[in-house]
Structure 1
Amino acid sequence: MLLTLLSHQWKAQLRSSIFQKSLVLNIILGLFILYFGSIFLLLGFGMHEILTKFHPGQNVIGIFNGALLFCFLIDLFFRFLMQELPVLAVQPYLHLPISKNRLVHYVLLKSIPSIFNLFPLLFFVPFMFTTVIPAYGTTTGLAWLAALFLVTLLNNFLLLYFKRLMSTKPLYTLGFGLAISLLMLLDYLHVVSLRAASEAVFGALFVTPWLAAVPLVLVVGAYLLNFYYLRAHTYPEELNLRKTAEASGRDITFLNRFGELGKLIELELKLIWRHKRTKSVVSLSVVFLFYGFIFYGKGTYLEGFAMLIFVGIILSGMPMFNYGQFVPGWQSAHFDGLLTQKNISPYQFYEAKYWMMVPVTVLAFVLTLPYGFFGSKIILINAATLLYNIGVNVFVIFFFSVYNKERLDLSKGATFNWQGVGASKFVMMLPAMLLPILIYLPFGLMGVPYAGIAALGGLGLLGIIFRKQLLQWSANRFIAHKYKLAAGFRQSN
């Protein structure tokens, strides 16, 4: 039965018009997989030499084991951003004499031959042959490899379970993410040592190889969690109910007081929540909130101002950049209908986008306030860049929005998805990122850096004060280009 289901899905994939249109993209994706697979393989064979060079005289296997826990946590994080859930159109099979358990097993088992599960093997297997087996023997080496592969599968099934819970119990997923973040933070603050724990846990396998059964038990538990959850959510009547609920949605009552503007913002929020591409953008924006640790942890960057301005622009502005770079492509599927709406003016359209971006930008600034522990001037610079993002960069995004003529399929995730990505996106980022540094530069050269920071904040305040005029200017540009946009969305359909 599993082979029959696999055959049905393979035929549906090959006969799909989307597969034919994306044939070139699939070839490019295959080349990327071969490229990164080769890198993993070469790293696996060369890891012994690399560790010996950077840690002379130390136990190479101990150093490798000490880094494994970090690797698996990072793997889990990237899976959350990039790995898609395995799916099967269950409804056509539910009325047939096919056990529901078999359908659920198929959905779960098809997630195992994933590149996220196979790439680690390309790395671990060569290291096992070159380093572990010569030191501990074949049996111990195979037990060590089996344990690592089982932990990889544990990540796989945990990811599938928590991603599915996002739609019904988002607080569970939030708690899981906060637990991992807290663990990394405690290690960063030297409260606990993940390296020592990792070395102890995986090093125990060389003393007692049968401990490889522990991750096996955990994998079985994670598999059963997914199994019982999926089996409980495959009833036809429940599928129909969920479909109706998705169509009707929920009203966000406090937005009703803002009239048409509130309705537009509410529709935008529903669009973000219901589609893969938009939710991927939100997830990616959360990642950039941790961007400051790369720079603030190094004292050399704290001495200057230009690099801190660049980081400040990213920290508060990246959610706005990630979402704004595809305006108005998010509405490409119903753009013609939008143009015929007499009660929605271009000014209202851009005003709704503006008031969507402002609270998110302010929230990103608030969440990054703890970076102030690295230095008080960080808060001052980030506050100035916050004003600059709200008063200037948002209108830079609106300026380039009229060149976004590629239609977007919102049902697809952002992973290896270049739909809608064009030269205008990269051109837009140049003034958004570099212009604030150029504005600061004369003040920095004259030895008055804080005057440059004040200039950035002042420009942002001016943009906020004259936002109505700037929104009208953006609307006028939209009116001048709306038919070109509509034609582009139709041609890329």
Structure 2
Amino acid sequence: MLLTLLNHQWKSRYRSSVFQKSLALNIIMGLLILYFGGIFLILGFTLHKVLAELFPGQSPVAVFNGALLFYFLIDLFLRFLMQELPVLSVQPYLHLPVRKAKLIHFVLLKSVPSMFNFICLLVFVPFMVTAVIPFYNPGAATAWLISLMGLTCFNNFLLIYFKRQLSTKPVLTLLFGIIVAGLVGLDYFGVFSLVAVSKAVFGTILQQPWLVVVPMLLLAAAYLLNYYYLKAHTYPEELTVRQNIQVEGKGIVFLSRFGELGKLVELELKLIWRHKRSKSLVTMSVIFLLYGFLFYRGERYMEGFVGLIFVGIMMTGMSMFSYGQFIPSWQSGHFDAILTRRISPYQFYAAKFWIFVPVATLAYLVTLPYGFFGYKIILINTAAFLFNIGVNVFILFFFSVYNTSRLDLSKSSAFNWQGVGASVYIMMLPVMILPILIYLPFGLLDVPYMGVAAIGLIGLIGFSFQRQLLQWTANRFVQHKYKLASGFRHD
């Protein structure tokens, strides 16, 4: 049965029209994997020497063990961004004499041969040979390596479970994210040391190899968690009900108060929530709010203004930039239908504007606690927020008429270059450089806070003239709508 399912999956992929179109991209990705795989392999054989030079007087194995918990947390983060769920079209098999358990096991095991699960071996195995075995017996080193691979696969199945729960129980996934972020935060503020915990855990496995059963039990628990979840959600009746619910949907009562504009906002929110690429962009934008922990730590960095303005623009506007760079390509699949409806271009862009403003406001509020690192972070982020909703949003709209590439919303954003054209890169230049150019004259005159105030004031003026700017955007859309429609009709 396993061979039969593998054969069906191969035929489905090979016969797909997408296979030939993505062949060149797959070749490029394969070459990149070989390139980075070679780098990781070299790193694995030389890492013990690098650690000995960077941490003189400490055992390279102990230093490596101390970084492993951070590695697994980063691994979870990268998987959340880029790893896609293993899928199988189950319905065609459910009426056949095929045990449901076999189908579920196939779906779960299909995720094991993944780049995320095996690329780490290019570092772990050489490091074990060069650093671990010379100081510990081969049995203990093998148990240590099995533990690392067990935790890697544990991450794999744990992330799959929470990604599946994201659509049905978002609160549970949010709680999981808060726990992970909380661990990092507690380490950052010195409540306890993840490095010390990591050294103790993996050092104990080297001293007591029988403890390898603990990672194996965690792996088994994560696998069973996925198994029983899928087993409870693969009935034909439930699949049909879920499909009907997605098609019918429910209106958002609050938005209905705003008439046609509210309906357009509601449709836009449904588009974001129901498709892979838009949801993944939103997820990346939320995670990006932790970006400040990387930049607000250095005292030298905190003394300047240009870098903080750049970070403030990005943190308060990343959600707006990541989604807005593909306007109006999000509607490329039904763009002709939009042109035939009585929807004015002004309403079309106003709906997007009133999605961006609350989202940017929420991002700004979330960044306010960074003010504990320095009061000027609050001032700069406030100015950056005003500039984003008063100027940068209209820069996005200005360049939107050049986005003539069609988007496939069912695909994730990871390694997906569809719709990414020259206009996207050109658009980001004024978005990032313009506020810095506004600040520079004041910085050169040694009145930096006046420069920050100027950025915020210009943003506030732009927001005050939103109606006129939206009308100007709508007029440009009318001039380019047929060019957009022609571009969206071609894959």
**By the TM > 0.5 criterion, same fold?**
yes
User: Which residue does 1:281 correspond to in 2?
Assistant: 281
C-alpha RMSD over aligned residues: 0.8
Alignment map for 1:179-218 (pairs within 5 Å): 179-218=179-218
Alignment map for 1:121-200 (pairs within 5 Å): 121-200=121-200
Cα distance in 2, alignment partners of residues 358 and 32 from structure 1 = 38
Deviations 1:199-219 (A, max 9, x none): 000000111001001110111
Cα distance in 1, alignment partners of residues 377 and 339 from structure 2 = 44
Cα distance in 2, alignment partners of residues 328 and 258 from structure 1 = 22
User: Which residue does 1:385 correspond to in 2?
Assistant: 384
Q: Offset of 1:198 from its aligned partner?
A: 0.3
Deviations 1:103-135 (A, max 9, x none): 000000111111110111111011111111111
Q: What amino acid is aligned across from residue 147 of structure 1 in structure 2?
A: S
User: Which residue does 2:114 correspond to in 1?
Assistant: 114
| Corresponding residue SS for 1:297 | coil
Q: What amino acid is aligned across from residue 300 of structure 2 in structure 1?
A: T
Alignment map for 1:450-489 (pairs within 5 Å): 450-489=449-488
Deviations 1:23-47 (A, max 9, x none): 1111112112212222221111111
1:23 aligns to 2:59 (yes or no): no
| Corresponding residue SS for 2:406 | coil
Q: Offset of 1:227 from its aligned partner?
A: 0.5
Q: Offset of 1:335 from its aligned partner?
A: 0.5
Alignment map for 1:19-98 (pairs within 5 Å): 19-98=19-98
Q: Offset of 1:424 from its aligned partner?
A: 0.8
Identity of aligned residues (%): 65
Q: Offset of 1:170 from its aligned partner?
A: 1.1
Cα distance in 1, alignment partners of residues 310 and 142 from structure 2 = 48
Cα distance in 2, alignment partners of residues 87 and 189 from structure 1 = 40
Q: What amino acid is aligned across from residue 229 of structure 1 in structure 2?
A: Y
Cα distance in 2, alignment partners of residues 40 and 111 from structure 1 = 22
Q: Offset of 1:291 from its aligned partner?
A: 1.4
Cα distance in 2, alignment partners of residues 268 and 32 from structure 1 = 36
User: Which residue does 1:263 correspond to in 2?
Assistant: 263
Q: Offset of 1:168 from its aligned partner?
A: 1.3
Q: What amino acid is aligned across from residue 377 of structure 2 in structure 1?
A: I
Q: Offset of 1:50 from its aligned partner?
A: 1.1
Residue segments in structure 2 that go unaligned for 5+ positions in a row: none
Deviations 1:30-82 (A, max 9, x none): 11221222222111111111101111221110000000000001101110111
Cα distance in 1, alignment partners of residues 94 and 41 from structure 2 = 43
Q: Offset of 1:96 from its aligned partner?
A: 0.7
Deviations 1:262-313 (A, max 9, x none): 0000000000100000011001111221111222100111112111111111
Q: What amino acid is aligned across from residue 365 of structure 1 in structure 2?
A: Y
Q: Offset of 1:223 from its aligned partner?
A: 0.6
User: Which residue does 1:5 correspond to in 2?
Assistant: 5
| Corresponding residue SS for 1:327 | coil
Deviations 1:182-229 (A, max 9, x none): 110000000011000000000001110010011101111111110011
User: Which residue does 2:340 correspond to in 1?
Assistant: 340
User: Which residue does 1:241 correspond to in 2?
Assistant: 241
Q: What amino acid is aligned across from residue 381 of structure 1 in structure 2?
A: I
Cα distance in 1, alignment partners of residues 283 and 57 from structure 2 = 42
Moved more, 364-373 or 293-302: 293-302
Q: Offset of 1:250 from its aligned partner?
A: 2.0
Q: What amino acid is aligned across from residue 464 of structure 2 in structure 1?
A: I
User: Which residue does 1:395 correspond to in 2?
Assistant: 394
Cα distance in 2, alignment partners of residues 26 and 206 from structure 1 = 40
Alignment map for 1:223-242 (pairs within 5 Å): 223-242=223-242
Cα distance in 1, alignment partners of residues 196 and 40 from structure 2 = 25
Alignment map for 1:401-440 (pairs within 5 Å): 401-440=400-439
Runs of 4+ in 1 over 4 A off after TM superposition: none
Cα distance in 1, alignment partners of residues 16 and 259 from structure 2 = 42
Q: Offset of 1:92 from its aligned partner?
A: 0.6
| Corresponding residue SS for 1:192 | coil
Cα distance in 2, alignment partners of residues 38 and 266 from structure 1 = 48
| Corresponding residue SS for 2:446 | coil
Cα distance in 2, alignment partners of residues 39 and 4 from structure 1 = 37
User: Which residue does 2:300 correspond to in 1?
Assistant: 300
Deviations 1:303-352 (A, max 9, x none): 1211111111111011110000000000000001111112x100000000
Q: Offset of 1:248 from its aligned partner?
A: 1.1
Deviations 1:452-490 (A, max 9, x none): 111111111110111100000011111101111111111
Deviations 1:149-201 (A, max 9, x none): 00001001101111111111111111111000011000000001100000000
The total of aligned residue pairs comes to: 491
